[in-house]
């Protein structure tokens, strides 16, 4: 982590999939303005903080998140995805988690 990294909690714009992560700009002068993310439980770093990637990490790989917080995180994300059915990527992701197809 360089001195140029400025980590902060995610804003509402980031959505519930970014909860549990600290966010930073990868390169503020870049046209894509890619965020970096760091798990607050396990310190896992993501150079591109894609929300679906962060969700899958918490759901499948983060061993340090307490079970009740993991359950609440997954519930909040799935609830958000159920209300945003226009995003086909989110709907298919929810289906893969619950074992159903859309």
pLDDT in tens, 27-76: 565 566 678 899 999 989 998 888 999 999 999 999 999 999 999 999 99
Say yes or no to pLDDT of 21 above 70. yes
Say yes or no to pLDDT of 97 above 70. no
Across the beta sheet with 35-39, what order do the strands follow?
21-25, 35-39, 45-46
Check the CA dihedral 46-52-54-60 and report its sign. negative
Say yes or no to pLDDT of 101 above 50. no
Structure confidence at residue 56 (pLDDT): 96
């Amino acid at each position: 982590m360089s001195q140029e990294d400025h980590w902060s909690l995610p804003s509402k714009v980031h959505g519930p999939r970014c909860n549990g992560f600290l966010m930073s700009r990868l390169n503020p002068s870049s046209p894509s303005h890619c965020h970096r993310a760091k798990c607050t439980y396990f310190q896992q770093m993501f150079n591109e903080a894609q929300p679906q990637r962060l969700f899958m990490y918490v759901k499948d790989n983060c061993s340090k998140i307490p079970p009740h917080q993991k359950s609440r995180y997954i519930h909040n994300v799935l609830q958000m995805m159920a209300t945003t059915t226009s995003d086909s990527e989110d709907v298919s992701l929810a289906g893969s988690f619950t074992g159903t197809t859309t």
